[in-house]
Amino acid sequence: MITMEDIVREGHPVLRQVASEVSLPPSNEDKEIVNSLLQYVKNSQNPEYADKYGLRPGIGLAAPQINVPKRMLAVHVKDPSGTLYSYALINPKIVSHSVEKAYLTSGEGCLSVDRQVPGFVPRYARVTVKGYNENGEEVKLRLKGLASIVFQHEIDHLNGVMFYDHIDHDNPFTPIENALPIER
State which residue, 125 or 149, has the beta carbon closest to ligand UDB.
149
Q: Single out the segment in contact with Zn ion by CB under 5 A; choices: 80-88, 95-103, 110-118, 165-173.
A: 110-118
| Binding partner at 56 among ligand UDB, Zn ion, none, C-beta below 5 to 8 Å by kind | ligand UDB
Task: Report the length, in residues, of the chain.
Answer: 184
State which residue, 62 or 129, has the beta carbon closest to ligand UDB.
62
Catalog residues that contact ligand UDB under the rule CB under 6 A: 56-62, 65, 104, 108-111, 146, 149-150, 153-154, 157, 184
Q: Which residue is nearest to ligand UDB (CB)?
A: 184
| Distance between CA atoms of residues 104 and 123, nearest Å | 9
- In the complex, the smallest distance separating the C-beta of residue 143 from ligand UDB, rounded to whole angstroms, is 12
Element (H, E) at 102: strand 101-104
* Contact residue for Zn ion among 22, 37, 74, 110 (CB under 5 A): 110
| Distance between CA atoms of residues 34 and 159, nearest Å | 17
Active site residue 154: yes
Residues 32-61 that bind Zn ion (CB under 5 A): none
- Range 4-8 contact pairs with CB under 8 angstroms and sequence separation of 24 or more: 4/54, 4/55, 4/56, 6/66, 6/67, 7/61, 7/65, 7/66, 7/111, 7/112, 8/64, 8/65, 8/66, 8/67, 8/112
Q: Which residues are catalytic?
A: 154
